[in-house]
C-alpha cells in the first residue's frame, strides 16, 4: 500500500462544512478545526446552503484571511444532501472529512477516523457515544436501523454524517444516477472497505437544529423505497389480500353472514390497507421516475474556487468583495486562493477564465473531479 493511501492525514484533507443559517457557528467551527487539524495539509470548504443570516459574510471574511478556506454559496436553500454533494464534488484533497457546522462532533474526534483510515479503509464513519440529542431522535435512529436490517439494506451500523471518505469514492457516490440516492446505503454498494469507530458527541451550543421529524421520516421512506424491494413487495401482497378480504366482507354482507355495520367497518378498514399499499407503490414509481432528466440538485451563486459553469445561474461566481490585496478571495489576483487550484491528490483542477466567469475545465476520461460530467441526485 502506498504511503498516500495509508496516511490520509499526510495525503491531505478537505473538511467539508455544510451550513445553513449557522452564522454563530462559523468562527468557532473554523477555530476548532484549524486548532485540532491545522498540522495537516488542510482545506476547509464551507458550503452555504442559501443562508439568510450572516453565514456567507463570515465565511467570505475567513476566506479573505486564510487561503485554506474556500466556499460555495447556493442561490437558495436546496437542502443538506445538495450541500454536502457540492462539497464532495469540489473537494481538492485526496480525502474528504465531513464536519457539520453545529460542532456537535468535536473536531479532535476526526483523529480517530484518520487512524482507522490508516488501516486501509476507503470510508470511516463515526458512531455517536453518549449521544446528546433529544430522546425521540435517539429512538427514531434505533428504529431506523432496525428496519434497515429487516429490509436487508446494508448500512454501516450506527453511522453518522461525521465521516472520512476517499474523495474519488465520495464523488462516485454523489454522482450516481439514482432515483433516491442515500450516501450511507450507497457506499457499501461501491466498496467493502468501510468501517465505523466510536466518537464523542455533544449538545448543540449555538443556533438551532435544521433537522425535523418530518425530514427524518421522509429520509427513511426514501431509503426503504429506493434501496430494497421488500417493502413494496410486502405492500403489494398486503394490498391484494386486503382487497380480497374486502370483497369477501361485501359478499358476506350480501348473503347475510355479516351485519351491515360489521361489513362496512371491515371494508373500510381493508380499503385503508389498500390505500397505504398504493401510496408506497406510488412513492416507488416516483423514485424510479426521479432517475429521469430533472433540474440540477443545486445552483451556485458565488464561489471562491472554480466550479462547473452548468451549475451557475448568473455567470461570474466570484465574491463581489475582493480579499485583502487583490481581486480574488484570499488575497492577490493571481496568487489568491484558487489561483493554483489542485485536484484530488494534488493534480491541477484545470481552472481557467472563460469570459468573466471562473470555471473548471472538463477533464478527460479516467480523471476525477467535479468538472467532468456532473449529474444531480439526492443523497445523505
Residues 96 and 139 in one domain: yes
| 194-199 sheet: strands from edge to edge | 194-199, 123-128, 159-166, 95-98, 13-19, 42-48, 69-74, 300-303
Residues 62 and 194 in one domain: yes
Q: In which band, very low, low, confident or very high, does the pLDDT at 272 lie, cut at 50, 70 and 90?
A: low
**Residue 216 included in any domain:** no
- Residues 131-162 have pLDDT tens digits of 655 666 666 666 666 666 666 666 777 888 89
What's the pLDDT score for residue 182?
76
Mark which of 264, 289, 314 sits at the end of a domain.
289
Strands (E), 246-323: 300-303
Highest mean pLDDT, choosing among 70-79, 269-278, 371-380? 70-79
Residues 283 and 304 in one domain: no
| Whether the predicted pLDDT of 379 surpasses 60 | no
**Residue 195 included in any domain:** yes
Distances in Å between the alpha carbon of 69 and those of 43, 53, 300?
6, 19, 17
Residue showing cell 470510508: 123
| Number of domains forming the structure of the chain | 2
- Residues 253-262 have pLDDT tens digits of 655 665 666 6
**Residue 163 included in any domain:** yes
Q: Compute CA 183 distance to the chain's CA centroid, rounded to the nearest angstrom.
A: 6
Highest mean pLDDT, choosing among 43-57, 270-284, 308-322, 332-346? 43-57
Which three cell numbers mark 233?
413487495
Q: Compute CA 210 distance to the chain's CA centroid, rounded to the nearest angstrom.
A: 14
Residues 332 and 283 in one domain: no
Question: Measuring CA to CA, which residue among 231, 247, 200, 12 is closest to residue 105?
Answer: 200
Residue showing cell 464513519: 125
**Residue 224 included in any domain:** no
Residues 58 and 131 in one domain: yes
Contact 73, 144 (CB under 8 A): no
Per the model's pLDDT, the better-predicted residue between 138 and 360 turns out to be: 138
**Tally of CB atoms within 10 A around 127:** 16
Residues 62 and 193 in one domain: yes
Question: Measuring CA to CA, which residue among 85, 92, 47 is closest to residue 171?
Answer: 85
- Residues 26-62 have pLDDT tens digits of 999 999 999 999 989 999 999 999 999 999 999 999 9
Residues 327 and 197 in one domain: yes
**Residue 23 included in any domain:** yes
Strand partners, 13: 42, 95
**Residue 301 included in any domain:** yes
Give DSSP secondary structure letters for 32-60: HHHHHHTTS-EEEEEEE-S-SSSHHHHHH
What's the pLDDT score for residue 297?
87
Per the model's pLDDT, the better-predicted residue between 286 and 44 turns out to be: 44
Mark which of 244, 268, 289 sits at the end of a domain.
289
Residues 265 and 116 in one domain: no
Residues 359 and 284 in one domain: no
What's the pLDDT score for residue 154?
67
**Tally of CB atoms within 10 A around 339:** 16
Residues 127 and 176 in one domain: yes
Average pLDDT, the chain: 73
Contact 59, 303 (CB under 8 A): no
**Residue 3 included in any domain:** no
Residue 141's CATH number: 3.90.550.10
At 372, which helix (H) or strand (E)? none
Q: Name the residue range of residue 238's domain.
A: 230-289
- Residues 86-112 have pLDDT tens digits of 999 999 999 999 999 988 899 999 999
Give DSSP secondary structure letters for 214-262: HHHHHHHHHHHHHS-SHHHHHHHHHHHHHHHHHHHHHHHHHHTSS-HHH
Q: How many CA atoms lie within 13 A of 11 on its CB side?
A: 24
Question: Measuring CA to CA, which residue among 107, 93, 86, 13 is closest to residue 349?
Answer: 93
Residues 299 and 278 in one domain: no
Total H helices, total E strands in the chain? 12, 10
Range of weakest confidence among 31-40, 188-197, 203-212:
203-212
Q: Residue 91, by phi and psi: left (phi above 0), alpha (psi -120 to 50) or beta? A: beta
Which three cell numbers mark 23?
452564522
Q: Residue 239, by phi and psi: left (phi above 0), alpha (psi -120 to 50) or beta? A: alpha
Q: In which band, very low, low, confident or very high, does the pLDDT at 376 lie, cut at 50, 70 and 90?
A: very low
Residues 191 and 335 in one domain: yes
What residues have CB less than 8 Å from 291, skipping those under 6 apart?
A: 177, 178, 179
**Residue 95 included in any domain:** yes
Mark which of 257, 272, 289 sits at the end of a domain.
289
- Name the phi and psi angles at 21, rounded to 5: 55, 55
Percent helix, percent strand, percent coil in the chain, to nearest 5:
45, 15, 40
Average pLDDT over residues 229-236: 62
Amino acid at each position: 500500500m502506498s504511503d498516500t493511501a495509508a496516511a490520509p492525514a499526510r495525503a491531505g484533507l478537505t473538511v467539508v462544512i455544510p451550513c445553513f443559517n449557522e452564522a454563530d457557528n462559523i468562527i468557532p467551527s473554523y477555530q476548532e478545526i484549524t486548532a485540532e487539524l491545522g498540522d495537516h495539509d488542510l482545506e476547509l470548504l464551507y458550503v452555504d446552503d442559501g443562508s439568510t443570516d450572516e453565514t456567507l459574510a463570515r465565511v467570505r471574511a475567513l476566506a479573505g484571511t486564510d487561503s485554506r478556506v474556500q466556499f460555495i454559496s447556493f442561490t437558495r436553500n436546496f437542502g443538506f444532501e445538495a450541500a454536502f454533494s457540492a462539497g464532495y464534488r469540489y473537494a481538492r484533497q485526496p480525502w474528504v472529512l465531513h464536519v457539520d457546522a453545529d460542532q456537535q462532533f468535536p473536531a479532535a474526534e476526526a483523529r480517530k477516523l484518520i487512524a482507522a483510515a490508516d488501516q486501509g479503509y476507503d470510508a470511516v464513519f463515526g458512531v455517536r457515544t453518549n449521544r446528546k440529542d433529544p430522546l425521540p431522535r435517539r429512538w427514531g435512529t434505533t428504529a431506523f436501523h432496525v428496519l434497515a436490517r429487516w429490509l436487508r439494506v446494508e448500512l454501516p451500523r450506527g453511522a453518522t454524517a461525521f465521516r472520512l471518505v476517499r474523495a474519488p469514492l465520495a464523488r462516485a457516490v454523489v454522482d450516481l444516477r439514482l432515483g433516491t440516492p442515500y450516501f450511507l446505503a450507497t457506499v457499501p454498494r461501491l466498496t467493502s472497505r468501510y468501517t465505523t469507530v466510536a466518537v464523542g458527541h455533544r449538545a448543540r451550543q449555538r443556533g438551532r437544529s435544521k433537522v425535523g421529524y418530518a425530514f427524518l421520516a421522509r429520509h427513511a421512506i426514501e431509503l426503504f423505497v429506493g434501496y430494497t424491494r421488500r417493502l413494496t413487495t410486502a405492500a403489494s401482497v398486503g394490498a391484494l389480500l386486503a382487497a380480497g378480504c374486502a370483497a369477501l366482507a361485501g359478499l358476506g354482507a350480501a348473503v347475510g353472514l355479516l351485519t351491515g355495520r360489521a361489513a362496512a367497518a371491515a371494508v373500510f378498514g381493508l380499503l385503508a390497507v389498500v390505500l397505504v399499499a398504493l401510496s408506497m407503490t406510488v412513492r416507488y414509481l416516483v423514485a424510479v421516475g426521479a432517475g429521469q432528466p430533472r433540474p440540477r440538485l443545486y445552483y451556485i451563486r458565488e464561489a471562491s474556487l472554480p466550479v462547473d459553469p452548468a451549475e451557475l445561474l448568473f455567470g461570474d461566481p466570484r465574491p463581489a468583495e475582493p480579499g485583502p490585496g487583490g481581486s480574488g478571495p484570499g488575497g492577490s489576483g493571481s496568487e489568491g486562493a484558487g489561483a493554483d487550484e489542485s485536484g484530488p491528490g494534488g493534480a491541477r483542477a484545470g481552472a481557467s477564465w472563460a469570459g468573466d466567469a471562473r470555471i473548471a475545465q472538463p477533464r478527460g476520461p479516467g480523471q476525477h473531479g467535479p468538472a467532468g460530467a456532473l449529474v444531480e441526485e439526492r443523497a445523505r
